Amino acid sequence: MKNKDIKITLIFTLIGLIAGIFLGLLSLSTVTEAIKQGMISKFGSSTAIIALSAVQVTVFTFFSAFIGLKLARKVNLKLNIKFDKNSAILATVIGLVIAFIIAGSDKFIFAQYLPKQTEMYTISPLYFISSVLYGGVVEELMLRLFVMSLIVLILWKLFAKSKDKLDIPNWIYITSIFLAAILFAAGHLPATERLLGLSTPILIRNFLLNGVGGIGFGYLYWKKGLSYAICAHILTHVFIQIIFMQIFFKI
């Protein structure tokens, strides 16, 4: 593995560590006192719960980045940390559109199936930081850099006639984008069940809204590089929490 890849992996791993800590703090802050005490009884302390979350996310991040960079190189996908104005604008627009679709759908389509407290939305700094770091960075490493790259590699080896990575058919990338998006949505099911239950409308909401995000981020990874998929994912959370939740829901 190239030295540059090792440095990038370690940087992402550090972000994963920080994300895991905030995710642990968030999990403790969003459960009832009874559930919290049950968790503490099981793991020993709040610190142990936070540490476990940090370790888990750090390991996932390291593995996804370490292996994902190798896979991406094999299938002509890239990280692309160079700034490009047009790519940045596209990432911003995609993040804005996805944020509008998610928040707007919750307001005008799925509101009747959501808890009443969503109508009294206030910004949670802990949730904001967790969603930006874990959602925006770690999820992109797992679902795009690792999973999508792996799917492209498998489909290419199984079905493509050309063995040149510069000549991989577009349908393989497109199929991989959709498959990774489905897995991305499925990965949100545990959190969705914990917060909203899993009725049919909620299941539709989960796969539709998370799927839209996965498709947008996957397209950016394919065409512009992972860095722009990460930017769009981060901006989606920023736009949802800072702008659209403020517009669509009462404070």
Helix axes 85-108, 200-223, angle to 10 degrees: 170
Q: Using 50, 70 and 90 to split pLDDT, how confident is the model at 1? A: low
Q: What is the pLDDT of residues 52-88, one digit of tens each?
A: 999 999 999 999 999 999 999 999 999 999 999 999 9
Per the prediction, the chain carries an average pLDDT of 92
**What's the pLDDT score for residue 148?**
98
| Number of domains the chain contains | 1
Res 205: pLDDT: 92
**Which pLDDT does position 67 carry in this prediction?**
97
* Residue 179: per-residue pLDDT: 97
State what percent of residues in the chain have pLDDT above 70: 96
Residue type at position 39: M
Of 9-18, 166-175, 183-192, the least confident:
183-192
Report pLDDT for 31. 78
Range of the domain at 117: 3-248
Q: What is the pLDDT of residue 120?
A: 55
Q: pLDDT by residue (tens digit) across 121-137?
A: 678 899 999 999 999 99
Q: What is the pLDDT of residues 179-222, one digit of tens each?
A: 999 998 998 888 888 778 888 999 999 999 899 999 999 999 99
* Prediction pTM value: 0.93
